[in-house]
Structure 1
Amino acid sequence: MARAVAVTAPPPVPSAGRAEAVLSRLYLTVTRKLDGLLQGDYVGLLPGPGSEAGESTEYRPGDDVRRMDWPVTARTTVPHVRRTVADRELETWLAVDLSASLDFGTARCLKRELAVCAAAAMIHLTARGGNRVGAVIGTGDPTSGGSTQRLPARTGRKEAHGLLRAIARTPSKPGHSDLGALVDMLNRPPRRRGVAVVISDFLAPPQQWGRPIRKLAVRHDVLAVEVLDPVELALPDAGVLALTDPETGTLHEVQTADPRLRRRYAEAAAAQRSAIAQTLRGAGAAHLRLRTDSDWLLDIVRFVAGQRHARTRGSARPAPAPRPESEVR
């Protein structure tokens, strides 16, 4: 499927003071909403059983029988299960794809802005309790001026804010990005088990990035955050549109009034998104889809709450499937 988007003037670059104010407001919004809706024991971004012993509670239908606390059960003659919490001092790495294809959006924001918002939420959810957070950032084809940048993992709120500022201020470069090479940067050098978050629109062929993500998931808990715009799922009936590929500069004129063209586009988009979801599922990565026309904070809250409920209750049921790709809000 071609990565064609409407030709628009580039957004104005905000001043340093205004950019800092926007980032501060973004982080404040994330802190208030996520802290208010995701209260509870420390369990991390992808809550799992962990190895720290927690309290014993009376068994309830649906609890994992593998967590039975037999000494307490024997003393009380009532079945109890041992709760556990995630390990402290977690190390989290973000792989943030800021290639030119993310400089597009037809709804509330650009995909690039949504990627920065997702990074802010992930940093907030993991950078606490002495945890370390680092990032690798990709900005396009190195032969066309693009580059990859590694920001070392550090602890502390000040360092977390600096990491977010560095991500937000990284400019995009022309050319196709190599998402597979970006993900591979999280595999080298080998690190202790932690959390790896890949933020991208995943428009590169799955054959390019599927194997690196599978390799990453062998050692780490992997979360793939897919950012997309509704126009990438279905074309509007808007007459003749001038479209360009932001990564190559190729220009096309498309007659969107043709219903057959719109139908073929929607079918190709649905097949593409299905292939992305299937590749991520096969790699063992959790999949979070964020759209530029929806409340991304609410989507993150639902995802984290669903993951927490499924794992702390010992359920083997997968997280709810994403909404149909063909649906346009």
Structure 2
Amino acid sequence: MAGAPDRLLLRLEWQVVRRLDGRVLGAYRTPYRGSGLDFAGLRGYVETDDARRIDWNATARLNEPQVRQFTEDRELTLWLVLDRTASMTVGAPGRGKHDVLAELALVLARLFGRGGNRVGAVLHDGATTRVVPPGTGRGQVLRIGHELARTATAPPKAGTTDVAAMLGTAARLARRRSLIIVISDFIGTAGWDRPLLRLAHRHEVVALRVVDAADDALPEVGLVLVEDAETGEQLLVDSGDPLLRARLRDAVAEREADLAGRMRRAGVPLHRIDTDRDLLPALAGVAASTRWRRT
């Protein structure tokens, strides 16, 4: 009998991947093609060549302008940086933020893990980090799916999301220029602006922020015991208190503006993914606004 990751991937292939495949991805453009990373040799300079590719040492030795040639790099490496901390467990059963993250990760891995493209994953749960080294094909997608299933069944670790640690791990692992997609609710510690800037300077980075209705609003149900999913702190509040509700709205607006500002300063596209909406238009929007879209 097929395991849960196998069934989930099969469902996503029918419901999402087939509708997206060829429509938004297919033959994509990356900003790193053309110059390549593998040196292939030298040849004589011609007028149409880019002068920046002249090898001045070889030119001096041969007394004739020489240009460096590189093997064109058409393969893409995608790293999925996945937030599996306690705040990602918020949401309705079967449609919580961690469920939506799993679907996003499998769809992206399936779409990219073909044609020689390599997909790896970093799963961060606040206390430990699991790494799935880059690989290709459907089997690689299932490996990522099995790691997602393992983190879903493990009890969530106490502590806030360390976004800086997630980004730092991605920077250490992605040695070649890559597309890095960070999937998180970005509810956690501060101080990750510099790691994000460093990562975006070398790689193409896209942020997918998974949001549940419970993140932004408190239902009016009278006295309610609220608990911070990451710290475990509990507080009894009157959900109908107008002052409390106004303060909550202000805090949400401030958090939204702060996150958007951080991403904008780093030049990182930020996309909101709501747990109660279809993934297809959200993923199509991601593809349309990034440089790996179809040419």
TM-score range, shorter chain: 0.7 to 0.9
Q: Report how far residue 306 of structure 1 moved.
A: 3.9
**Maintained 8 Å contact 2:197/2:266:** yes
Distance 1:218 1:308 in 2: 15
Distance 1:158 1:106, change over 3 A: closer
Aligned residues: 257
Distance 2:172 2:31 in 1: 26
Distance 1:176 1:105 in 2: 18
**Alignment match of 2:33 (pick from 15, 35, 51):** 51
Distance 2:280 2:198 in 1: 29
Gaps of 5+ in 2: 36-47, 49-71
Q: Report how far residue 177 of structure 1 moved.
A: 3.2
Residue 272 of structure 1 is matched in structure 2 by 255
Distance 1:206 1:118, change over 3 A: farther
Residue 172 of structure 2 is matched in structure 1 by 188
Residue 130 of structure 2 is matched in structure 1 by 149
Residue 9 of structure 1 is matched in structure 2 by none
Distance 2:111 2:201 in 1: 22
Q: Report how far residue 285 of structure 1 moved.
A: 1.2
Residue 225 of structure 2 is matched in structure 1 by 242
Residue 6 of structure 1 is matched in structure 2 by none
Distance 2:5 2:134 in 1: 23
Q: Residue 185 of structure 1 aligns to a residue in which SS?
A: helix
TM-score normalized by structure 2?
0.78
Q: Alpha-carbon deviations, 1:44-74, whole Å to 9, x = none? A: xxx4455359xxxxxxxxxxxxxxxx9xxxx
Q: Report how far residue 221 of structure 1 moved.
A: 0.2
Gaps of 5+ in 1: 1-14, 54-69, 71-85, 141-145, 313-329
Q: Alpha-carbon deviations, 1:95-134, whole Å to 9, x = none? A: 1110011111149710111111121222123212101111
Residue 138 of structure 1 is matched in structure 2 by 124
Distance 2:286 2:19 in 1: 14
Q: Residue 235 of structure 1 aligns to a residue in which SS?
A: coil
Q: Report how far residue 161 of structure 1 moved.
A: 2.2
**Alignment match of 1:91 (pick from 41, 54, 77):** 77
Distance 1:121 1:281, change over 3 A: farther
Does 1:118 pair with 2:104? yes
Residue 30 of structure 1 is matched in structure 2 by 16
Distance 2:264 2:168 in 1: 18
Distance 1:279 1:129, change over 3 A: same
Q: Residue 172 of structure 2 aligns to a residue in which SS?
A: coil
Distance 1:24 1:113 in 2: 15
Does 1:179 pair with 2:160? no
Q: Report how far residue 309 of structure 1 moved.
A: 11
Residue 148 of structure 2 is matched in structure 1 by 167
Q: Residue 158 of structure 1 aligns to a residue in which SS?
A: helix
Letter in 2 for 1:236: P
1:205-244 to 2 correspondences below 5 Å: 205-207=189-191, 209-244=192-227
Q: Residue 140 of structure 2 aligns to a residue in which SS?
A: helix
Distance 1:252 1:24 in 2: 42
Residue 45 of structure 2 is matched in structure 1 by none
Q: Report how far residue 240 of structure 1 moved.
A: 1.7
Residue 44 of structure 2 is matched in structure 1 by none
**Maintained 8 Å contact 1:108/1:293:** no
Q: Residue 236 of structure 2 aligns to a residue in which SS?
A: strand
Q: Residue 241 of structure 1 aligns to a residue in which SS?
A: strand
**Alignment match of 2:274 (pick from 243, 267, 291):** 291
Distance 2:129 2:13 in 1: 25
Distance 1:110 1:190, change over 3 A: closer
**Maintained 8 Å contact 1:98/1:138:** yes
Residue 327 of structure 1 is matched in structure 2 by none
**Maintained 8 Å contact 2:79/2:179:** yes
**Maintained 8 Å contact 1:201/1:228:** yes
Q: Percent identity?
A: 37
Distance 1:225 1:247 in 2: 20
Distance 2:236 2:9 in 1: 37
**Maintained 8 Å contact 1:106/1:231:** no
Does 1:42 pair with 2:27? yes
Give the CA RMSD over aligned residues. Answer: 2.8
Distance 1:48 1:269, change over 3 A: same
Distance 2:149 2:181 in 1: 16
Larger radius of gyration: 2
Residue 61 of structure 2 is matched in structure 1 by none
**Maintained 8 Å contact 1:30/1:120:** no
